[in-house]
Every structure is written in structure tokens, then in C-alpha cells.
Structure 1
Amino acid sequence: MPALVNYSGDEDFYPGSMYSNPMDSSLVLSLGSHVDVYCPPRKRSRISAPFVFRGDKFEQKKLPSIDVLPEECLFEIFRRLPPAGQERSACAGVSKRWLTLLSSMRSTEICGSRNTESLNLDGGLVSSNTDESSKLDKESPLPVSIDNEEPYLESDGHLTRCLEGKKATDIRLAAIAVGASSRGGLGKLLIRGSNSTRGVTNFGLSAIARGCPSVRVLSLWNVNSISDEGISEIANGCHMLEKLDLCQCPQISDKGLLAIAENCPNLTSLTIESCPNIGNEGLQALGKRCPNLQSISIKDCPLVGDQGIASLLSSATYVMTKVKLHSLSITDVSLAVLGHYGKAITDIVLTGLQNVSERGFWVMGNAHGLQKLKSITITSCRGVTDLGLEAVGKGFPNLKQLCLRKCSFLSDNGLVAFAKTAASLESLQLEECNRITQCGVLGALANCGAKLKALSLVKCMGIKDMVLDLPMLSACNSLRSLAIRNCPGFGSSSLAMVGKLCPQLQNIDLGGLCGITDAGLLPLLESCEAGLVKLNVSGCVNLTDAVVKAIARLHGGSLQLLNLDCCRKITDASLVAIAEDCSLLHDLDVSKSAITDFGVAALSSAKQLDLQILSLSGCYNVTDKSIPLLGKLGQNLVGLNLQQCKSISSSSIELLVEHLWRCDILS
């Protein structure tokens, strides 16, 4: 039966009208408010708004309803998400728009879960102190505080995030900014390099500044697109910043450092390297406003001069402990300030200071301000002369470590004079100091006092092996470690004299001394009364089995490390002696030697041997027959090197890898 419908606008419009064109105005009837109209039966339309009309047709445009909302509404929704829950991270994964909006929120704009009043969508005030809000508050693992009626989330900053290369993008930084709060807060952020097409910019750093106020450590390396704007955002948002590391950031200038100085008073460590636009103004601001600076490292910054360095050093007289100055255009003035104001400094590194003369080092030593200095490293500084080094020895009474590299004007006289005055010296390192000779080394050993424990000589070409008619020198009984590496002139005669002066040696490193023979090394081994613990003779191509047998006989009860790499005259006889007498040996390297399967068998049959690291690299005479022996020996091995062992097949190595699954095998 036909239905009678009283149409008043509440029902859906019926598209299938009796008229061919229902939009024709001439066919539209003028109906009264109570006129009954006869219509054929129809179903309710399933098409929902919105519609897009095109001529006499219309189409449905499907849009997610929440995306229709303006950003102001989404902002109000997102700020009410639990600050320490996973909901924020889940929403950030929906789209870039949501991620961008969430990352643009500061932590102070996020509604907390305790005694918080927030705006509802109608603009009225709704109290969030309800049962549900109290429940969220109890479940929240992070404290919430109210500051001027604006809640903010405090976090300790437990997380560390490092983005390198292609992974360093703004999107990742935004995601970190949103998700870090639910995991204890971001404490350290390190960015190494940047994506070439979608790299880190000020936008990404701004997201971190807004969402992660707990950041204490920020390190930027080779990030060309970050400028003062990004650093200023960090300064304004991360007031807890303690360590700032800027390396190869050409867009950052003094303006960025000024923002840091004004907003980050807790800064304790500053590293600036290869930043051409940073100069004295920024460093002066840090010196005035950051009284807690304990460590500074400035390298390759052409605009930095005496004014900036002097300001930093003079303002932190009693807290500054570490100073590194590398390739700067500073003069003697900076070293004078360093010597006068460095009352708390314990470590100094000076490298490539071409404008510093002998006078600078002399004044630094005679200022008597560096009383607590324990370690100083000087590299490629022309001002290090005999007079300057002697002043250093007199002015630093507590100096324990001295390292001199490429100091071409230092001679034996300065080294001996320093040794006489440095009563607390424990470690002396000389590298590429080519005017130092055998007389200087022996004189330093005889006059260094009773505390010197370690002596290292590397690439000192002025040392020549000769028999010297020296007066009777006092022994250096305190020396425990001796390293003489790649000094081609240091031969058997010099080694024998060192052995007489240093009878308590325990660690000896003679790597690269190809001129040493059995006759030169045997007296040194016999004079070591305390028992050797570590011996490295790699590259000493003239040593034979006689030396190894003497080592096993004299020091087998104490030796823990033996390196015979590239000693081609070493054969199976040495391994037999080691297996019999070296019960404490943990690390053995016989790479590129003449050992065979018989020597490996001797090691595997030793009952007391407890090897943990074994290197057989380049031993061509070791074959597949040694695989079962290595399997027996490898029960305690954690490292095995079989590289370039051409007589061992790959299938045998695969079987060994399966058997020794706990051992790291190189092949």
C-alpha cells in the first residue's frame, strides 16, 4: 500500500523523484505545511555528507573526520594526553602533521595529572581533579609540578640517543622529542653527520628544545644546516644543559654562544672544534655567565684569540680542571694567564700553538699558579725549548705525566734538567723528539727521582746505538714499564744499558726494533728481577728460539702476554718451551712465524696452560691437522686469529666455528 509521508525536512532527500530532473524549479510544487504528498516506496539513502555536486551528479568525498579539525583543536586534544604514557607516541605515528604538532608542544604546555584546570572545547573551565584523573596521576611514574598554574613534566634525563649519517633527520628528532618523556626523559643527544637530502635543521633541534627540557649533553658533529637559531632554541628550552660539543658547525657563531651563556648557567664542559664563525665575543660571554665551567677544549677556530681564552681561564679560577688548546692563534699572553689563574687545573693539552714562544712556557712555569697540575701534553709547539721545559719542571711540583710530541728544539740538556726538578714525575713520553739522544734518555733515567714508573720513546730518530763511557749512574728502581717503539737507532748496546739502570721492569714493549739481537735482549731479560708480565717484541726479526727459551725459563711463572708477531725465526721449539714453563700465559701472538702443526700440538697438550687469546695469522705451515688440536685447546679461548692461514681450508674453519661457539674466530 502506498505510504503517505508528511515531509517537513527531517527525512533524507529522495533522489529518485517522479520528475526526470528533480532540480528543475518549474516542476517544484509549492506545498503547504500540512499537505500530504503521495510518493512511491523508497529506502533510506546510505550516502552521507559531505557531497560534491558536479552538474546533475554528486559524489561523496571521503575525509577522516578528525583531520577536518583545525590545528588549534588538535592541539587542545593532544595536550590532554597523559604526559608519561604511550598515547602520545601512538598519535605521533599517525601522520607527519600529528608528529609535527606534538613535537611543537613544550613540556610546560602539556596538561599534568594533578590539580590541573584545562579548557574544554566550548571554552569553559573543567576541573581535571576527578576520579579518572586521580587514577592517571597514581599511575604516572614521573612527578608533576605546577608553576604559575601551568603544569609541566619533570624528568631525570636517563635516555641517550645518537643519530649518525642517514639516520640524522628532523623526523627522528621530532619522534625522540615526543617519545622521550614516557621513558625517563632525554639526557644526552649526539648527532654525527647528517642526511644529505633530509638532514637535521633548526626545526629538529627546536623540537628537542621544546619537548626535552632535561637535556644535559648536546653534541653536534659535522652538521652544516644548524645555525644560531637552533642553538638559541636549545638555550631557551634546556636550561639544565651541562655539556656542549660543537664540531664542524660553520653556521653557528657567537650569537649562539651568547644565548647559551644567558640561559645555561650550569654549563660545565665546552668543546668547540672547526667552527670558523665562533670568536672571542662568545667565549667572553661564557666566561662571565657560566661560573661552573670545568673543562674547555678549543680547536681550529681562527677567530679565537687571547681575549676569549683569557676570559674563560680567569673567570673559572677555582673550578677549571681541564684545558685543551689546539691550533689557535693565541700568543704568550694566554699561557701567562693559564699559569697564573689555573689554580685548580689538573690536565693541560697544548697542540700546534705556533705563535707561542719560549717566553710563554717560561712565564707559565714561573707563575706558580699550576700547583695542582698532574698531566701536560705538548705537541708541535716551537716554544718548547730547554729553558721552557726546565721552567715547567720547577713550576709544576705535582706533575705526574709529561708527553712531548714533535718538539724539535728540545735537546738532552733540557730533558735532564727537567728530570732533576720534576720530583713527582711518574710517566714520561717522548715522540718524534729527534734531538734527544742516548745520553739524554740515560741521564733522565738516572735523575728522575724515585717515582718514575713508565718511560716511552716513539720514533726518536736521534737515538743511536753506541757504547758510552759514562760515569756510574744510579739505578731507577721505580721504573716498571718501558716502551721503545720504531726507534731504528736503538740497538742491543743501548738496551743492555737500560737493563742495568732499570732492574724492576715488568712490562717491556720493543715493537719495531729490527736491530735487536739475542745478545742484546738476553742481558735485559736477566736483569729484570721482579719478573716480566708483558713482553712485546713484534717486528724484531733477528730474535730466535734462544730468547723465547730464556723468557720461559726466567719469567714463565709471571708472564701473561707475549707478542712474537713477525719474528720469522721463531719455530716449534719456542712453543714447546712456552707449553712447559708459562703457566700464567693468557695472550700469545706468533703470527707470521715458522711454527707448524707440531707446535700447536705442544700447546694443546700442555696441562697448566690457560690461553685465552691465540694468534696464528700468516702461519703458512699450520694445516688442517691442527683443527682438532685447536678444538681441544679452545675450551678456554675467547679469541683465535687464523687469518691468512692458507693451508687451512674454509670447511675446517667452519667446523671449528661450530665447535668453539664461545670463541671469536677471525679467518
Structure 2
Amino acid sequence: MSKLLEFSGGDDFCPGGYVCPSPMDSILFLSLGHQVDVYFPSRKRSRINAPFVFSGEKVEEKKQASIEVLPDECLFEIFRRLPVGGQERSACAGVSKRWLMLLSSICRDELSTIKSGEASEPEEGGNATAMQIEPIKSDKKDGFVQSNVSEAETEVLDNKEGDGFLSRCLDGKKATDVRLAAIAVGTASRGGLGKLSIRGNNSFRGVTDSGLKAIGRGCPSLKALSLWDISTISDEGLFEVASGCHQLEKLDLCQCPGITDKSLMAIAKSCPNLASVTIESCLKIGNESLQALGKYCPNLKFITVKNCPLVGDQGIASLFSSAGNHLMKVKLQTLNISDMSLAVIGHYGEALTDLALINLQNINERGFWVMGSGLGLKKLRSLVITACQGVTDLGIEAVGKGCPNVKQLCLRKCTFLSDNGMVSFVKAAVSLESLQLEECHRISQAGFFGILVHSAGKLKALAFENCFGMKDLAFGVPALPPCNSLKSLSIRNCNGFGDASLAVLSRLCPNVVHLNLGGLNGVTDYGLLPFVQSCDAGLVKVNLSGCVNVSDKTISALAKLHGETLELLNLNGCGCVTDASLAAVADFCSVLRELDVSKSRVSDFGIAALAGGSAIQISLQILSLSGCVLASDKCLPYLHKLGNNLKGLNIQQCVGISHRGVDLLVERLWWCDILS
């Protein structure tokens, strides 16, 4: 072989001397078999991808220098000196998860004040210059960059403080620490993060204190924070929010068992702008938090405390004694408080405009009496009381006298309240405009008409629902003065209310424009028709769902008398309504927007008649035919004609309409939401 390598040969094979000047170059021979060796002289520079360098007989490994070999401490010092105002931080955050988390751990007061394009000032005699990093180019819109951080959508970063224009909501699996770090790093240049909502618990990689710390360090403009159903956070994360987010105005904590009074007290001390606080099902938050909120938050106006077993009279008393002069809206639900708390509210609630007391089982009649007698609720305008057994005639009368400016009253599940108490309240509360009673079974027709008579001509809305004490009148009623101020009347699922009571109402309520008689089985054409004829102002919204004894006679009269004002008509479950009603609606209801004839006797002919009305084709936006078994494929052309302006169509349980017909309708009315 050595002889062969020394052979010079002729010009026709390889001119110019030895085939291989150096014996080591014999590696360039390509072996094709046991008998043939062929040499191909290289015409291009060899491309070597392996990290080795051949030098003589020595083989050395080529070591590539990388910034990744630096410890976190060094990277931290580099990152905090990046120019403020450029895209360098966003570019670095897109390199890896490690870099992202390091950047998110830098507090605002640790950042250098270097601006983009400027040189850094030498530190301690040094001659350092600003580190310029070429930003990563990306085809993504909205400032997102391609990176190795698989879960983070790293946004363009500018470390100047924004005004809090951006909102972020993380639900379920999207709620992770990496995403929170990306939000903290990337929102500053686009107005700053103003609202953050985290809902749901990710059992695999959920939000922990590390994610909240990143928000606390990087989002000083945060104004609203909502944490719902998160069991993996504790006081440690909220401490960082309290330390860095001094502009916080709204805080919602719901089902966060790891949060205690310590962190909430820290937020109260560090966030003087706090105006709204909701604490729900937080088992470790108690009286100390409410005391701190009342003491350190002069702008606190709205507070909700629900299902917190550690909250008692001491916390409520401390809150109102300190913040009663600026608290405006308060909701207390399922708490272990007694009459003492209501006494404090009645005395110190000088600024209260809205008060909701729900499921407070330890409060008795004395508590409501003392609250009304405290004479501190002069500004109260809205009062909601639900499932409080202490509401009696004596207590509600005292509340009416102590709250002369109350305009809205809602009472639910007050089983000991009777007609005398309600009439006494209406007499005392001369400013009352809206009254809603639900599941108050001791209220009868006498109380109902007494409220109308003694409302001083100011009552605008009256609603009764599921009040089983309502029995239809079996005796004559003397002439009563009309309640001309009443605009909205709702009597739902009060089975005892029938034609006799409705006939009396027809003389008392001539100006009603919103009528809801849903679920009144005892109402027929005999009682409803006179009422419809007595409404002089023109009915706008009418709900007769479940009135199984109302027929076409009343509906046709309703369409003729109020067709120019009627915008909503609900006849769901009216089994006596047929095509004649739709024909009347098509002829007279020129401004009708919503029509529901579900589970009625409407057929293809009625739908055809409805489509024949040119005016209603323009105005009608929502049509429900659910459960109309008499409708078939023959009505599809008419539905298509109506559908030119429809936004919603319900044809569920229309067994006469085939699947092919539904598909054809969906294809033609692509702009309309169709339920099938």
C-alpha cells in the first residue's frame, strides 16, 4: 500500500505528484470493496458538525462558551441592568423557563434606571456599559415572542410603570406559575397590568405563592385581584402583593383556605386605596382582618363577607365603628353574628346605601328592632333580607321608621312576616319605590292590596313570587284609590291568585307597562281580559308563561290594544294558544322583538301567518317554537323568510321538523343562533 501511495502516475490519472502528500491523508480514501480503492479530491471545504478539532495526531474536543453556565446570581445582576424601556427583557424571557423565572423575581426597586440606547453609569469606579441584546424577531402579533417557554406567552416588556389598562383572566389549566411570571414580565410596556383574575384549581401544576410573588414584584399598577377556588396559595404570596401592589383597589378572595388574617392585614396596611373587598368561604380569615380593613382603609366603600366561621360580632363591630362613615355597600351572609352586630350597623352605618343580610340564623326580632331604632341608616336606599328568622312585624316596622329613604326592599323566606308588618312598613317608608316578596307565606291578598293602597303613590314596582298564602278573593272589595305610580307588576307562581284578584287590580293599576303573571293556573280570559283593557299606558313586556287557561281571545285583544308598544310576549306553556294568536300578532305588533310560543298549539299555518306580516319581519329578533309538535318541514320557507333579521331561533323538541330540514335551516340562516 505504501508503494502505491508513493506512485506519481501519469497525467491522465492524477497529475501533480503523489496521490497523498502525507500518509495521514489516506483517511480520505473511500472504500468501495475489498479490491477497489478510489480517491475523490475534495472540491469544497469539508463541513464538520462534530465538536472535535483534528490537529496532527491529536484530537481535541471543542468547548462552546455559553451564558447558561453562569449561576443565577450572575444572571440576576445582568438582567437587572438591562435597558429600561426596550425589548431586551422580553427577548431574554423568551429564551428559557429559567430566564423567565429569574426576570420575574426582580423587584422594581432592584432595576437599573438605564434607558434603551443609553450607556450605564460606572459603578464603584467600574467602566461598565449597557448590555445590548438583539430582540428576538417574531411573526406573532400582539407582542408575543417565540421561545423555549412552552406555557408562557411572554409579552413585550417595558419596565416603566403603567396605568393598569390590561386585564388577564386565568381559568383552570391555564392557571400556572409560569403564566403568571410571563404576565408579570410582559405587561408593563402595554399599559401595565390593572386587573388579574385566577379561577379554578389546577391540581397538576396550579398557582402557588411563587406565581403571586412574580405579580407582586412586577405589577405595581395592579388595581383589582380576584382569587377563586385556589387551595395552593398561602399568606406568603399575598405578602408580596401587599409589598409591591400599593395601588390595589379591589380584592376578591373566594375559597382560599390557605389565606389567614396575617396577609389580609398586610394588604390593608399597605393598600390605602382599597375600595372593594369580598371574602367568601375563607375558613382562616376572622375578626382581625375586618378590624384592619376598617382602621387602615379610608377609601373602603364595598365589602362582602360570606361563610367565614371565624367572623363574629367583634369583627363587624370593629369594621363599622372605624369605617361606618364611608362604607356604602355591605353584604353579610351565613355568619355567626348576633343582634349586637345589627345594633352597631344601625348606629354607625351613616353612609350605608345598600345592605344585604342573608341567612343570619342567630339574629332575633330584637336585632332588627334595634337596627331600625338606631337612627343611623338615614341614607339607606336598598335593603335585602333573606332567610332571617328574626324578621317579624315589629322588627320590619322599626326598620321602616329608621330608614325613611329606603327605595328598594327585598324580603325572601321570611316566614314570620305577616300582612300587618308589611302594611306598617309601607306606611313608614314613604320613599319606597320597589318591593319584592318571595316565599313569605303569611302574606295574603289583604296585605297585597294594603301595600298598593298605602304606598303613598310612589310605588313603581311590585313583585310577589311563591307566596302560598295568596288566596283568591271570595268577598267584595270596596272602592280603593288607584296606584297610578305602579309601572311593573309581577305575580309568579302564587297559585291562589286568580280572576277575582285580577279584576280588582284592573281598577288599581292603570299605568302598568310590564306585566308578569307566570305560573298562575287560576287566571283565565275572564280575569285577564279586563286587566289588559284597563292598561292605558300601553303594555311593553308581557309574560304569561304557564297560564294554561289563557286563550286566543285575550292574546288577540292584547295584540290589537297594545301592538304599537309591545316589545316582548312570552306564551310559553299556554296550551290554549293557537294560530289565531300568531295571526293577530303579525297584523298588529309592529315593534315586537321577542316572541315565545313554546309548547303551544301553534302549527305551520300560524308560522306562515307570522311571516306574512311585513312589519314584524323587520322587528322580530328572537323567536322560540320549542315543543311545538304541530310544526313540520312545511314551515321552513316561512322561518327562512322571518330569519332575515332573526338573531335567535329555538326549534328544540319540534318533532315534526326533520334533521335534514334543520340542517338546511342552519345553512341558510348562518347568522342566526339556532337551537335544535
TM-score by length of 1: 0.86
The Cα shift of 1:617 comes to 1.1
The Cα shift of 1:487 comes to 1.1
Q: CA RMSD in A?
A: 2.8
> Partner letter of residue 224 of structure 1?
S
CA separation of 1:416 and 1:523: change in aligned 2, threshold 3 A: same
Deviation string 1:524-545 (CA, Å, 9 cap, x unpaired) is: 1122111111110011111111
- The CA distance in 2 between the partners of 1:125 and 1:306, in whole Å, is 64
SS of match in other structure, 2:420:
helix
SS of match in other structure, 2:523:
coil
Residue 126 of structure 2: aligned partner: 124
Residue 523 of structure 2: aligned partner: 516
- The CA distance in 2 between the partners of 1:86 and 1:519, in whole Å, is 76
The Cα shift of 1:400 comes to 0.6
The Cα shift of 1:77 comes to 2.8
- The CA distance in 1 between the partners of 2:506 and 2:60, in whole Å, is 97
Residue 192 of structure 2: aligned partner: 185
> Partner letter of residue 67 of structure 1?
E
The Cα shift of 1:362 comes to 1.1
CA separation of 1:628 and 1:86: change in aligned 2, threshold 3 A: farther
- The CA distance in 2 between the partners of 1:127 and 1:67, in whole Å, is 21
Residue 287 of structure 1: aligned partner: 294
Instruction: Say whether 1:658 aligns with 2:660.
Output: no
1:628-643 residue pairs with structure 2 within 5 A?
628-643=637-652
- The CA distance in 2 between the partners of 1:652 and 1:47, in whole Å, is 66
- The CA distance in 2 between the partners of 1:365 and 1:58, in whole Å, is 95
The counterpart of 2:395, out of the listed 372, 388, 413, is 388
- The CA distance in 2 between the partners of 1:308 and 1:118, in whole Å, is 52
- The CA distance in 1 between the partners of 2:439 and 2:85, in whole Å, is 57
The counterpart of 1:331, out of the listed 338, 343, 354, is 338
Residue 75 of structure 1: aligned partner: 76
The Cα shift of 1:567 comes to 0.9
Judge conservation of contact 2:83–2:130 (CA < 8 Å) in 1.
Answer: no
- The CA distance in 1 between the partners of 2:649 and 2:288, in whole Å, is 55
- The CA distance in 1 between the partners of 2:125 and 2:385, in whole Å, is 67
- The CA distance in 2 between the partners of 1:611 and 1:167, in whole Å, is 40
Residue 230 of structure 1: aligned partner: 237
- The CA distance in 2 between the partners of 1:59 and 1:549, in whole Å, is 99
Judge conservation of contact 1:109–1:152 (CA < 8 Å) in 2.
Answer: no
The counterpart of 1:626, out of the listed 625, 635, 638, is 635
SS of match in other structure, 1:625:
helix
- The CA distance in 2 between the partners of 1:348 and 1:242, in whole Å, is 21
Residue 446 of structure 2: aligned partner: 439
Residue 155 of structure 2: aligned partner: none
Deviation string 1:36-92 (CA, Å, 9 cap, x unpaired) is: xxxxxxx999986999xxxx9988486661211222332233223344444423322
> Partner letter of residue 326 of structure 1?
Q
Instruction: Say whether 1:645 aligns with 2:654.
Output: yes
Residue 376 of structure 1: aligned partner: 383
- The CA distance in 2 between the partners of 1:579 and 1:376, in whole Å, is 43
> Partner letter of residue 126 of structure 2?
G
Judge conservation of contact 1:618–1:644 (CA < 8 Å) in 2.
Answer: yes
Judge conservation of contact 1:215–1:241 (CA < 8 Å) in 2.
Answer: yes
Residue 603 of structure 2: aligned partner: 596
Residue 552 of structure 1: aligned partner: 559
The Cα shift of 1:342 comes to 1.2
- Identity fraction in percent: 62
1:186-265 residue pairs with structure 2 within 5 A?
186-265=193-272
Judge conservation of contact 2:434–2:461 (CA < 8 Å) in 1.
Answer: yes
Residue 89 of structure 1: aligned partner: 90
**Structure 1, unpaired ranges of 5+:** 1-15, 18-42, 133-140, 142-150
SS of match in other structure, 2:633:
coil
- The CA distance in 2 between the partners of 1:85 and 1:188, in whole Å, is 24
- The CA distance in 1 between the partners of 2:217 and 2:380, in whole Å, is 41
CA separation of 1:61 and 1:666: change in aligned 2, threshold 3 A: farther
Judge conservation of contact 2:167–2:194 (CA < 8 Å) in 1.
Answer: yes
CA separation of 1:64 and 1:221: change in aligned 2, threshold 3 A: farther
Deviation string 1:590-639 (CA, Å, 9 cap, x unpaired) is: 11111111111111111222211111111121111211111112222111
TM-score by length of 2: 0.85
Residue 26 of structure 1: aligned partner: none
Judge conservation of contact 2:85–2:159 (CA < 8 Å) in 1.
Answer: no
Judge conservation of contact 1:376–1:401 (CA < 8 Å) in 2.
Answer: yes
Residue 606 of structure 1: aligned partner: 613
Residue 272 of structure 1: aligned partner: 279
The counterpart of 2:533, out of the listed 526, 535, 538, is 526
Judge conservation of contact 1:108–1:152 (CA < 8 Å) in 2.
Answer: no
- The CA distance in 1 between the partners of 2:51 and 2:491, in whole Å, is 87
SS of match in other structure, 2:615:
coil
The Cα shift of 1:455 comes to 0.5
The counterpart of 2:584, out of the listed 556, 572, 577, is 577
Deviation string 1:295-337 (CA, Å, 9 cap, x unpaired) is: 1100111111111111111212332110101011111111111
Deviation string 1:338-365 (CA, Å, 9 cap, x unpaired) is: 1111111110000111111111111111
- The CA distance in 1 between the partners of 2:122 and 2:51, in whole Å, is 28
Residue 407 of structure 1: aligned partner: 414
